[in-house]
Amino acid sequence: MLKELTSVIDKLGDVLADLQRQENLATLHHAQQASHEQNNGIWQKLFVGQPRSTPPSPSASDLTRLLADFEHLLGRLRHQQGQLHRLQQFNGQKLQQVAQALQQSPFTPARARALLAELARLDGGAHQGLLWQLLDCYQESLRLCLEQEQRSRAHQHELCSRLQQLIDELHFSGDVGAELAKIQSQLLQQRDGLALPPLCLRLIELTIEGCRQERQNSTLFLARLNTNLGEMHHNFAISLSEGQALFDARTHHGHHIAGELRAIGEHLVSQDNEQLKEEIELRLRSITHVLVQHERLQEREQSLLNRMNAMELQIQELKQETEDFKQRLSVQSEKLFIDSLTQIYNRAAMEERLEVEYRRWLRYQEPLCIALLDIDYFKDINDRYGHLAGDKALRLIARTIQKSLRDSDFVARFGGEEFVLLLPNVNPDKLNTPLEKLREQIRNIPFRFKDERVTITASIGATLFRTGDSTTSALERADQALYRAKHAGRDQTVMA
């Protein structure tokens, strides 16, 4: 997919370069035509009547706008290409790790091993992220089968809900989509832990199948786009050389006419009458000949302009198609960075953003805070009011955190009931204030489960980046601070 995208981006780059050349030519053409008309205007009026007004070139007036649009589009596509590439690398590594762990496990059955081999051959593309999570669930379900019944029930429930969330993120249509929906409802009533591993495997198979189909569709779409761009590139090249040839010919004719007129002027002063008459007749025949050719050139120019009009339409259509494609890409990469339950950023997005903020911190040394927020006794909420109540609480808490932060701050669901916050450019002396305010806001959310008013609290561990820190060392320090907050009785903020 990335390869096809790269080739489309390259083609767009070619078309953009053509557009730029076309614009330069149009500008030059207009400038030279203006000066040419100024020089010969009087003579033209004398011999040809009013100068024929050339219809305004559509490309000249609209090219600048098109160029800016194309450049913008190209820039955004390149940016998205980079983002996708990094994310695919991350997900690819994760996929490899989980697959390796499964390969090495003595409990992995033959069907799963066959699927792992298939996965190694498949380029999962945009779905690598989901695939490694599904493999992770599968590994977990195998482990649950081997565990004691008592402990495994809660975990089994959790795993079912995780799998349902993952299915939510898959947007396959047709048979694959229908079977996924069936599995999702099976997961709702899942009682038997032993049935989970085969269900997981079926999910992985379906994801691979869906991936293949989606890849096929994307490849077809990109191939069509690529062909269209290729044709456009070709047409541009032809029009460009045709335009250049016409321009050269018109300039040549202009010089010719000017030369003839100059010669007439010279003869007027130096020759006697009879000779002068012959000379002028000869010159006029020559000028008439040039003017006929000139008319033909103008017809050719008119047809070139018509072709360019048609090409502009083609460009607009192509732009629309590329815009649609960009939209699809955006939706896809957004989905890759958004947590499906809470609709805030997920861990992958956090890792991207952390890198960006860290590099900015290294460069400008403005205070950067990283904080971990973990909901207290969340397991009790699940156990007492059910998993769905737990999910609802997570959604509300995520929304509360998001609302409480400044626009420049960042929050992501780190996993389970844990969130990570990045607060750039904070006042180190007043760092506690926004974090304590946030903790209070969570505590004051009016939860109501089974007609009971429930207070949910959170613990926060936070730290500022220090000289010599890496992203990992700062994150570990925030984690230790969170650990201390939990052990000191929860519902508090600890700075490290």
Ligand X SMILES: Nc1nc2c(ncn2[C@@H]2O[C@H](COP(=O)(O)OP(=O)(O)OP(=O)(O)O)[C@@H](O)[C@H]2O)c(=O)[nH]1
Residues that bind ligand X (CB under 6 A): 158, 161, 341, 374-379, 382, 387, 390-391, 394, 416-417, 486, 490
To ligand X, the closest distance from the beta carbon of 446 in angstroms equals 19
Output the CA–CA distances (angstroms, integers) from residue 7 to 10, 122, 249, 403, in the order listed. Answer: 5, 21, 37, 41
- In this structure, what is the dihedral angle of CA atoms 114, 117, 121, 125, given to the nearest 10 degrees? 90
Q: Please choose, from the candidates 359, 494, 391, 496, the residue with its C-alpha nearest in 3D space to the C-alpha of residue 439.
A: 494
Nearer to ligand X, 221 or 377 (CB): 377
Nearer to ligand X, 318 or 375 (CB): 375
**In this structure, how many other beta carbons lie within 10 angstroms of the beta carbon of residue 195?**
15
To ligand X, the closest distance from the beta carbon of 479 in angstroms equals 12
Q: Determine which helix (DSSP H) or strand (DSSP E) holds 106, and give its type and residue range.
A: none
Q: Find out whether 184 and 164 touch, Cβ atoms under 8 Å.
A: yes
Angle in degrees, 0-180, between the axes of helices 128-146 and 149-169, rounded to the nearest 10: 170
Q: Where do the H-state alpha helices sit in 105-148?
A: 110-121, 128-146
Residue 304 main-chain phi, psi, to 5 deg: -65, -40
Q: Find out whether 414 and 420 touch, Cβ atoms under 8 Å.
A: yes
Nearer to ligand X, 347 or 387 (CB): 387
Angle in degrees, 0-180, between the axes of helices 2-48 and 273-337, rounded to the nearest 10: 160
To ligand X, the closest distance from the beta carbon of 475 in angstroms equals 17
Nearer to ligand X, 337 or 358 (CB): 337
Contacts of 272 (CB under 8 A, 6+ apart): none
To ligand X, the closest distance from the beta carbon of 382 in angstroms equals 5
Nearer to ligand X, 374 or 409 (CB): 374
Contacts of 136 (CB under 8 A, 6+ apart): 98
Nearer to ligand X, 168 or 175 (CB): 168
To ligand X, the closest distance from the beta carbon of 347 in angstroms equals 13
To ligand X, the closest distance from the beta carbon of 349 in angstroms equals 17
Nearer to ligand X, 321 or 418 (CB): 418
Q: Please choose, from the candidates 445, 336, 436, 467, the residue with its C-alpha nearest in 3D space to the C-alpha of residue 392.
A: 445
Identity of residue 259: G
To ligand X, the closest distance from the beta carbon of 169 in angstroms equals 13
Give the residue at shortest CB distance from ligand X: 390
To ligand X, the closest distance from the beta carbon of 486 in angstroms equals 5
Nearer to ligand X, 59 or 156 (CB): 156
Residue 395 main-chain phi, psi, to 5 deg: -65, -45
To ligand X, the closest distance from the beta carbon of 392 in angstroms equals 8
Burial 131-152 (b: 16+ CB within 10 A, else e): bbbbbbbbbbbbebbeeeeeeb
To ligand X, the closest distance from the beta carbon of 434 in angstroms equals 22
Nearer to ligand X, 271 or 480 (CB): 480
Q: Determine which helix (DSSP H) or strand (DSSP E) holds 411, and give its type and residue range.
A: strand 410-415
Half-sphere exposure of 156 (CA within 13 A, CB side): 23
Edge-to-edge order in the sheet of strand 458-464 = 410-415, 418-424, 368-375, 458-464, 493-495
Nearer to ligand X, 1 or 435 (CB): 435
How many whole angstroms separate alpha carbon 339 and alpha carbon 358?
23
Nearer to ligand X, 154 or 292 (CB): 154
To ligand X, the closest distance from the beta carbon of 395 in angstroms equals 10
Strand, coil or helix: 23: helix
